[in-house]
Structure 1
Amino acid sequence: MSMIKTENLTKIYPGGTKAVDNLNIEIEEAEIYGLLGKNGAGKTTTIKMLTTAIEPTSGNAIIDGYDLKRDKEKIRRIIGVVPQDLTTDADLKGIENLRMIAAFYNIPRSDADKRIKDLLDIVDLSDWGNRYVSQYSGGMRKRLELICGLVNSPRILFLDEPTLGLDVNTRSKMWKYIKDIQKELGVTIILTSHYLEEVDQLADRISIIDHGKVLITGTPESLKASLKGDVITMEFQSKEEADLARAYPGALHASLAGNYKVRMKVENSDTELPKILSYLMERNVSPSTINVKKPSLDEVFLEYTGSTIDDDIDPEQFRRMMQNVRRLR
């Protein structure tokens, strides 16, 4: 069953900037769906439209059977949103933050307290509910933010950079909590993240978005399989050497990647790399660095967008990211 289905969803901002361009995606019930794209690709605008924060210019979406244009209030009742920015009040206790959200949704106190207890249990914060958020570690604060989006028992949960600012170990623990929530509550999760390994670990399916359009959709495994080969990156001392390497006849594809680097796709790096080195030695060329990558989401993203996901981060977004990181420490 489709939980979200967009129909040529489009957003054009004043001045003519088309942030989302006839977007058609279909998200199934109880799946974790990843939206990947650089800053400005359109994923944030897509989320804002689906959560009724902004109006689409044209097109529409059906969200759990509700029409995006006609049923905004009903849609707001069945969704939860965990934004990138920290929203909990550090001067309140964890349980007080959660009760405040419950009051916003007019949830009776007895029902709210039972719900809050269950949510604190899921993310292992039962012993911290009556402590001030200012006493929480960064990972605990993020776990509290996570369940803030679940107080109203949503059918759909939107997660925007849920582990931003956390160290690697704490981030992997957050992945477990997200999976537990999806499994125990059956909630559909839409995830955006700059950590491609995070989306690889969590998402059942992924859409890569660029300039407001979906370039490809599939499972992490199918997207990586679509590359049909391994990637070898070599760096040289001059453009002439790089050009010689790029002309290697056994490559499926080869291109310059800046700073005298060559990015070469081959069928199988294990068998092809010795042939490449022999080809270069015959021409008295030796690479200063060699890097071999099996298919990964990083390579998939580069293949379909022509750049890495971290290219051209917006200064304002970077400022907000660093602000959140400092608040988590």
Structure 2
Amino acid sequence: MQIGPHLLPNRLFVAPMAGVTDRPFRQLCKRLGAGYAVSEMVTSRPELRDSLKTSRRLDHTGEVAPIAVQIAGTEPEMMAEAARYNIERGAQIIDINMGCPAKKVCNVWAGSALMQNESLALRIIDAVVAASAPHGVPVTLKMRTGWCQEQKNALQIARAAQDAGIAMVTVHGRTREQGYKGEAEYRTIAAVKAALQIPVVANGDIDSPEKAARVLRATGADAVMIGRAAQGRPWIFREIAHHLATGQAMDAPRTLQVRDWLLEHLQDHYSLYGERSGVRTARKHIGWAVHALPGGAHFRAEMNRIETTADQWRAVDDYLSDLADAHERWPQAAAEPTTIEETLAA
């Protein structure tokens, strides 16, 4: 699997998710089997670049290459400048966001709202590709099947994007109107793959190794992208890789192994966010991991009252060490993935 000059180790991708796929989480997923991960969405608006939130999203310290940054906006020249700005700060791949369904993004005609204005969408693609090409940086596109059931135009946009120089297209199998409700459909993704020569990535409702294999077969896609199913279960990538290679299910990880992964992730998380923000933003990651475990709901409630990173880290260590005494291997799958609205509000 290749994106421009970058040869990837496999075809298992981490989806960009606001408030989730920061550098520590991307690193964790890559360590546990993901071949590629895209950053949280970064705004193209220059007046917001100096905000603490944006500066953290642009922190790629120690990140495993290739470094992919997703940008969002509505003005071609501003998006081109955002591409140049991020390339100067280490981005090796630029991804254009035409898939986010969040109201606060679509209300300003960014994200998946751009699929309603194909002319503007293609002007943005042209501008970003032109800005990135002199640096040898490939540009990719993430989008949905369309704005609504009556307006599925992913195929038209994908063809035009390929002609404009886009290096890879990812399609989430829902319209913007669906949000994350209902079931993803893969016929549109299969049609896009059949029509294009560049790599096409399937996204949406891929929550198990078996489902990943079925989607790859049904769509002919070059790769799968996984988002919410990795929340609390980042080892899903190595499980999928094992299943694709052997056709067999992988044993659940040892509980002590999961404990060590989570504790190392927390240390990395704290180093990025600091004491005050670190303890608060880590709660969702811990909550996703423990929610469906024995005693997990009680532990989550207790953990949410902890106010220091040291105490939080110690509490997680104690809980998972005790869990390992009763369960040598991780006792059950993570809870149902949260909705995107819950993620954005976290």
TM-score, normalization by structure 1: 0.36
TM-score, normalization by structure 2: 0.35
Relative contact order higher in (CA < 8 Å, ≥ 6 apart): 1
Greater share of helix: 2
